[in-house]
Amino acid sequence: MPKGLSSLPHIVQIYIALQILRPGIVNMDRTIIAFPLIASIFIILLCPPTIAFSLAMGSLKVVLQPSPYPIVKGTQTNLKISFYQKGTGTLQPHIYYDVAISSAGKKLFDAVTRAGYIGNVWLHSAEGTITIPYTFRESGVYSVNVTLFGILFIPVNPESALFNLNVT
């Protein structure tokens, strides 16, 4: 065994020894290992990682999925928000809601205001899921506050779910 290899783990030492002594056998093993590794890398590159944050309100479970994730400042992020019936995987249709984004106590975005409404007006989702495109300008911690105002055309006492997002 060449000098300096004795500090390596035994499996690495055996691999190196086999490579030196029997290159044909080890090359086949490398092909068998390399193909799944390369395929995995392509899958990771083609399907960027996502994450889902979920919180239970009194009436519903709210799931926030930022994409792409991790969130990078200056890049548009789609905030997909889904409202699920509690205890099921069923989307709750006909939701009245608002979404606000803030940082350091300062409100930066409000979905109702952005839609051009003023006063006690709420946004409606027939399907129970919404996607809000937003570009975070600075790195830091942002709060996304999702407030529920009604279900199935019936007003409810407002309930909120507060999500904290790290932006790099």
Distance CA 120, CA 112 (A): 9
Q: CA 151 to CA 161: how far, in whole Å?
A: 15
CA–chain centroid gap for 16, Å, is 41
Is 1 part of any domain?
no
Is 104 contained in some domain? yes
The pLDDT tens digits of the residues spanning 43-76 come to 444 444 556 776 677 779 999 999 999 999 999 9
For residues 156 and 131, state if they share a domain: yes
The answer to whether residue 112 sits within a structural domain is yes
- Say if residue 62 is in the same domain as residue 38: no
The helix (run of H) or strand (run of E) holding residue 120 is: none
Structure token digits, residue 89: 């995987």
Question: Could you tell me if residue 128 is inside a domain?
Answer: yes
E strand residue ranges, the chain = 53-56, 60-67, 76-85, 95-103, 106-110, 123-125, 129-135, 140-151, 154-167
66 plus 98 within the same structural domain: yes
Same domain for 42 and 22, yes or no, is yes
Do 94 and 142 belong to one domain?
A: yes
The partner residues of 67 in beta bridges, in order of sequence, read: 78
Instruction: Tell me how many helices (H) and strands (E) the chain has.
Output: 3, 9
Residues 70 and 14 in one domain: no
Are residues 72 and 146 part of one domain?
yes
Residue 3 within a domain: no
Range of the domain at 137: 53-167
Task: Tell me, yes or no, whether 14 and 90 share the same domain.
Answer: no
Query: In this structure, what token pair is assigned to residue 29?
Result: 């093993």
Domain count along the chain = 2
Q: What is the pTM for the complete model shown?
A: 0.68
CATH code, domain with 91: 2.60.40.1930
Residues 33 and 57 in one domain: no
Task: Read off the pLDDT of each residue in 19-46 and give the average, rounded to a whole number.
Answer: 54
Assess whether 118 and 75 both reside in one domain: yes
pLDDT digits (tens, 9 = 90+) for 102-148: 999 999 999 998 888 877 789 999 999 999 999 999 999 999 999 99
Q: Are residues 27 and 70 in the same domain?
A: no
- In the block, residue with structure tokens 């997002």: 165
